[in-house]
Each structure stands twice: as C-alpha cells, then as structure tokens.
Amino acid sequence: MSETTTTLPALSPALQRVFSGDYDREDLAELLADDDADRNQALFAAADRVRAEHVGDAVHLRGLVEFSNYCGRTCHYCGLRAADTSLQRYRMAPDEIVAAGLKAAELGYGTVVLQSGEDAWYSAEIVADIVRRLKAQADMAVTLCLGERPREDYALWREAGADRYLVRIETSNRDLYAALHPGMSFDHRAACLHTLRELGYQVGSGVLVGLPGQTEGLLADDLRFLRDLPADMVGIGPFIPHPGTPLADVEGGEVATVLRMVALTRLLLPDSHVVATTALGTADPQGREKALQAGANVLMPNVTPREFRALYEIYPDKICTDEEPEYCRGCLAARVGSLGRTVAIGRGDSPRWLRSAR
C-alpha cells in the first residue's frame, strides 16, 4: 500500500516493507507469527492510524438478521451443519424477516445483513421480494449472506436492490478448503465472489483463523487473496470449536492472531471496511474493542428476534443471544464511545467501492 501518507515510528523491516508496498508472502507470515508485545503494539497502532486516515473515526453498525438455521452443507466447523440432527431448526417467514430488517432501520442502522444457512426453501424470488420490500420501506443498504447460489439468483437479487453480498473464503488453500467442506471447493467459492463483483455488488469476504492445519503462510495467502479480490469488506474471526462437530476437539483460533490479521488487512486494503467480529467478542470480552483499535471500523449487532437467536448456534456461548436489539444498540454505542470514536450515520458504503465505481 504505497499511497498512505501516514508518518510512522520505527517499525520492523517486514512491516516497513508492507508500508512500502514491496513485501512478499514471507513478510506477512513473519508478522503473523510474531507475538512480541511491543512489535504487535506497533503493528496495531500503524493499522489504527491508517484506518483513521482512510475511513475515519466513525464505526458502522450493521443490523444482522439470522433468518434460518437450516443448512444443506456440512462444513466441519459449523454448528448449523446438516449432519447435526439434534439442533432445533427454524425458518423465519418473509414477513418476519422484513419486520426484523425494518427494526434495524428503526434502531438507526444504515445497513441490514440478512444471513442464513444454505436453505433452498428461500427461492430466488422469495429473497428478491424480501429485498424489494425492505428497499421500498426503508432508506438502507441491504447485504445478503446466504452462501453459494447460481449467478441468476445473485443477478435477480441485485436487480431487486441488494447492495452487498458476503461470502467468506474461510481459507484460500484448496486442499484445506476441500478437507473442511465436503462437496465444496475453493475454486467455486472464489468464482462466486468474482461473479458478485461483476454484478456490481460490494463484496465482503473473510477468513476463519485457527483451522486445523492452517499455518501463518496460509494466512498470508488469505490476506493476498482478499487484497487481490479486492474485498470491500473483510470479516476475520477466530474459529470457535462447536461440540457437535467433527472439529469439537480442535483448539480454536487465537485472539492475538486474529488481531494481527485484522491489522494487516487494514494495511493491505486501506479504504475497505474491516469488521470487529462477534466471534472475536465471544472469544474475548474486549475482542471487538481490540479489533477496533487494530484497524477495524464495523460492528454487526444482532437484530434477530430473541426467540430464534440462541438457535443460530454456529459456535457455543455466542454473545448477545439473550439481549434485546435495543440493549445491544446502547451497549455498542457505549463501547464505541469508550474508545473516543463515534457511531456512523447512513449506509456506510465501502470507500474502496465508491472510489472504484466513479
């Protein structure tokens, strides 16, 4: 990232190379493996300054509606996987989804994110209708996160008014991807992201940190994948083991590694949005604040009706499952304020996307 004008204190040679734009995979891997407290602080401070310079101090809040926990996939890490027959499943009706989206608008959120397992019950037309109704009734951006669908579905939803789409790549390593996602492939997932870009969506992606077999070198590859996409929004979370899955006994992702990934994402994609993820807030009560001070600028408060919230159990002990949306709104405003930052007003489109769309 050669464009920044930030003045820097003494930085490690690898970090200096990242700043000069003349870095390689080994530099990123070295920074990701480095757990020296002072050097980490320098990395986070540098990412924080780049964040302030490129996307400002305001933190964007996106209201998240988790509308169905049915899923046809069997991702090895996820509590919603089809193979788990003990989970009580739910599907919100289209009217309930629209009402939850309008609730997000009422709370002042400029974006609603509609997320679910890969649930074929929601036909392309049903989703398009939900998007149209939300766009007609509220001045807000609509983000979809429904997994992999055919190009025609993505195109129909874009025509209906959907602004953004999230598909995490999870890992950009083909073999690791294949080992964790039966019947799925990295290449198809990446193709979905490229299709979404072509259709004019702001594209979000991200990575799970702490997957078995993942190395700093592979995480460095993930960062380069996100940079080259390029992603308009990036969410990086720790993998949190779920007892009902094949990865129940794996240790899970380290908060410190996630924070280093967040900081490096900011340096590689200075004017994209970077999320302080709920998974990070679950792994560490101060995790979201730490991410906001290491380059992140987005939070995703839950606005799913309370009766369903605990059932969207992708990992155990998820935060905010008992609180009402109003409570989380106040809680997050206080957390953001405690960092001397403000809550953003409006849709919060990706500055990177706005720049490239000009």
Positions that interact with ligand FES (CB under 6 A): 301, 320, 323, 327-328, 331-332
CA-CA-CA-CA torsion sign (189, 204, 304, 95): negative
The least distance separating ligand SAM from the CB of residue 46, rounded to whole angstroms, comes to 26
Contact code string over 3-42 relative to ligand SAM, x by CB under 6 A: ----------------------------------------
Contact code string over 56-75 relative to ligand SF4, x by CB under 6 A: ---------------x-x-x
The least distance separating ligand SF4 from the CB of residue 149, rounded to whole angstroms, comes to 12
| Spatial distance between the Cα atoms of 121 and 269, rounded to a whole number of angstroms | 36
The least distance separating ligand SF4 from the CB of residue 192, rounded to whole angstroms, comes to 12
| Spatial distance between the Cα atoms of 143 and 295, rounded to a whole number of angstroms | 22
Interacting residues with ligand SAM between 259 and 318 (CB under 6 A): 279, 314-315
Interacting residues with ligand SF4 between 113 and 132 (CB under 6 A): 117-118
Which one, 101 or 270, has the nearer CB to ligand SAM? 101
Stretch that binds ligand SF4, among 8-16, 76-84, 192-200, 316-324 (CB under 6 A): 76-84
Give the number of residues in contact with ligand SAM, rule: CB under 6 A: 19
The least distance separating ligand FES from the CB of residue 64, rounded to whole angstroms, comes to 11
* CA dihedral angle for residue 78, residue 83, residue 89, residue 92, rounded to 10 degrees: 70
Number of H helices, E strands in the chain: 15, 9
Which pairs with CB-CB distance under 8 Å and at least 24 residues apart come from 137-140? 137/98, 137/102, 137/105, 138/101, 138/102, 138/105, 138/112, 139/105, 140/101, 140/104, 140/105, 140/109, 140/110, 140/111, 140/112, 140/347
| Spatial distance between the Cα atoms of 265 and 47, rounded to a whole number of angstroms | 9
The least distance separating ligand SF4 from the CB of residue 84, rounded to whole angstroms, comes to 9
Interacting residues with ligand SAM between 131 and 150 (CB under 6 A): 145, 147
Tokens coding 70:
């049915």
